[in-house]
Structures are given as C-alpha cells and as structure tokens.
C-alpha cells in the first residue's frame, strides 16, 4: 500500500521542528490524475522536500498510517468520555480491564 504524500510531508515537517497544523495554509498538495504532488510550498525557513527526502519517510509513514487507523479504532471502542468517567466512578477495575482489552486487541507498531 502506497503511503500518502500528506503523511510523508507531515513527518518531514516534524523532523524539522514544524507541524502540519501550523503550516497547512502554506502547503498545497494536489493530484491532477497522475499522482500526488506538492503544488506550492511556502514554509518559512524550510526548503521544499526533494523526492528522495520524501521517499525516506516510506517506512515511518507506513507505521504512522497503521497507528492512525489503530488510534481511530480505539477511540471508537473507548466510547464517550462522559460514559468512561461514569464507569471509572462506579468501578475503576472494570474500566481498566475494558480499556486494556481494547489496547491489547488493537496494538500499535
């Protein structure tokens, strides 16, 4: 499975002390039918990554995307925070057991 350009760019930014959230207005990713590419890059103090720099994030990107899916699965399984707090108040040991099972069933890399 090909790693998304967004993921590679996000990892490149983080490796250079930047964040996607802070820079997303300065970066435009596009796909005109022949693949994703960086249409514009206006990140202050950081050059646009080369193809080889982006390629170096393939393995880390695979891990990041897999862990993102696991985080989403866990978030759904955990349920509403209010319900969790009620469960903790009523029986913290049962809550711990339930959360541990969710984590064990959905391990991160």
d(C-alpha 15, C-alpha 77), whole Å: 31
Collapsing DSSP states into helix, strand and coil, what is residue 94? helix
Contact 36, 30 (CB under 8 A): yes
d(C-alpha 10, C-alpha 6), whole Å: 6
d(C-alpha 102, C-alpha 37), whole Å: 37
Structure confidence at residue 24 (pLDDT): 85
Structure confidence at residue 109 (pLDDT): 78
CA atoms within 13 A on the CB side of 65: 15
Residue 27 has pLDDT above 90, yes or no: yes
Considering its fold, how many domains does the chain have in total? 1
DSSP 39: E
- Give the residue numbers spanning the domain of 95: 5-105
pLDDT tens digits along 64-79 = 999 999 999 999 999 9
pLDDT tens digits along 70-109 = 999 999 999 999 999 999 999 999 999 999 999 999 998 7
């Amino acid at each position: 499975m090909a790693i998304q350009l967004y993921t590679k760019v996000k990892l490149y930014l983080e490796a250079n002390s930047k964040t996607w959230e802070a820079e997303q207005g300065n970066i435009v990713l596009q796909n005109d039918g022949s693949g994703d590419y960086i249409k514009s890059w206006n990140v202050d103090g950081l050059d646009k990554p080369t193809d080889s720099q982006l390629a170096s994030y393939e393995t880390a990107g695979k891990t990041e995307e897999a862990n993102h899916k696991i985080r989403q699965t866990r978030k759904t399984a955990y349920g509403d925070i209010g319900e969790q707090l009620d469960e903790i108040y009523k029986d913290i040991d049962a809550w711990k057991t339930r959360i541990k099972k969710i984590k064990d069933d959905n391990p991160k890399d």
